[in-house]
Amino acid sequence: MAKMRTPDETPRRGYARAAGDIAGDISGMAFKRFGFVQGAIVGRWKEIVGERYARVSVPESIRFPAGKKSSGTLSLVVEGAHAPLMQHMTPMIIERVNRFFGYEAVARISFRQGRVADAGSARPLRQSPAPVPAEIGDGLRAIADDELRACLTALAGQVAATTGPPMVERPAPIPSLINLPKVS
pLDDT digits (tens, 9 = 90+) for 83-96: 898 999 999 999 99
- The CA distance from 49 to 89, in Å, is 10
Its pTM stands at: 0.48
- The CA distance from 100 to 48, in Å, is 7
Spell out, as residue ranges, where the chain has pLDDT lower than 70.
Answer: 1-39, 118-127, 172-184
Q: Give per-residue pLDDT as tens, 22-38.
A: 555 555 555 555 545 55
78 three-state secondary structure: strand
